[in-house]
Structure formats: structure tokens, C-alpha cells
Amino acid sequence: MKNIVILISGGGSNMAAIVNAAKREGWADKWGARVAAVISNKADAKGLTWAKEQGIHTEVLDHKQFASREAFDTALTQCIDRFGIPDQPVLVLLAGFMRILTPGFVSHYDGHLVNIHPSLLPAFSGLNTHQRAIDAGCKFAGATVHQVTAELDHGPILAQAVVPVLASDTADTLAARVLTQEHLIYPQAVAQLLQR
């Protein structure tokens, strides 16, 4: 069995898309993969409630309770690794997890840490991607699933989706259209990883 741990900070819509795809497509039967846990750094993350309703183990690890980023990441690593299986590294998926991870954390999960970012990387890494795309006059925006490296919003690209930027777009309307594509490409990229 390959265990997947999903990290969230908010509503968890990408997490839900992955969980639903795993059930619908039979990841457990096809590839011996299951979403073993959902962990959040925020106790009020709405995605936790949804995950519990699906029977998925949930945990909260409040980053504010730790003296440093390193101390939090060490505790997070210990929490995730409890779901490890001998000879089967945990696949860690960042789904709206609003924390910059330390190089030590990234190194620990090298090749097994995946993120989704709401832009066509390498363009617009960081925050406020949709407004920045509009301000730059971009004709297209989108989303990128990528393996995580120590450099923020970089790493090998696994999947991308392109969305046109309309003349009438606001950051919110563009974000909503991009999000529908995120929900498609993230589960697809994870399924492709599981087949390797």
C-alpha cells in the first residue's frame, strides 16, 4: 500500500478532488494507494471537516505553537512519517498548504513531495498570481502541478492547464476558472506518479 498524506490550510478543494478521484478511479485496487491522512496547520480549516466525513484520519499541527519554522517542520515530518510503510515512502501532497517549507523538510521527501500552484510556472511564483497575470496583460493564465524543491514554486513540472484571461476578468473570476482546472490536473498528475 502506498500511503498519501495531504497537507491543507483552508477549504481543501484540491484535497477533495484528489480523494474523490482516488475513490472513483479505484487507486487502492489499481496501485495499492490510499489517502491515509489529511493534516492542517490551522484547526479551523474547513477541509478537515470534509476529510473526517470521508473517514480519513485528520490531524492539526498549529505552526504558531512552534518557536521556529525548523521546529514546526521537524514535528510535521514526524507526524507524516507515522503513515509510512517500509519500502514505500509516503507521497506528500500540498493542497493549499500555506507554509514555506524548510530545505530539510523538502530534502526528506525528495521525489515524493508535490504541490499545485495557480500560475503557469515559472511565471508568477509566490502570491497574488491572478492579479499579477492580469496586471501584466497576460492573455493566458493557468495552474501547474510540480515536484517540490527547496526553491519556492520551482521543481520539475508534472502537469499544467491553460486558461484564457478575459478582458472582464478580476482576480476572483480568473481564480475561479483556474481552480476548476486545478481540480482536474492535480488528481491526474498524482495518478501518473502512482503508476511509476
The predicted-structure confidence for 151-187, as pLDDT tens digits, reads as follows 888 899 999 999 999 999 999 999 999 999 999 999 9
Q: In the numeric block, which cell numbers belong to residue 162?
A: 491553460
- CATH for 2-194 is 3.40.50.170
pLDDT tens track for 44-69:
999 999 999 999 999 999 999 999 99
Active site residues: 117
Q: List Cα–Cα distances, 43 to 40, 62, 65, 99, in angstroms.
A: 7, 7, 12, 15
Name the residue among 157, 138, 139 with its Cα closest to residue 147.
Answer: 157
Q: pTM for the whole thing?
A: 0.96
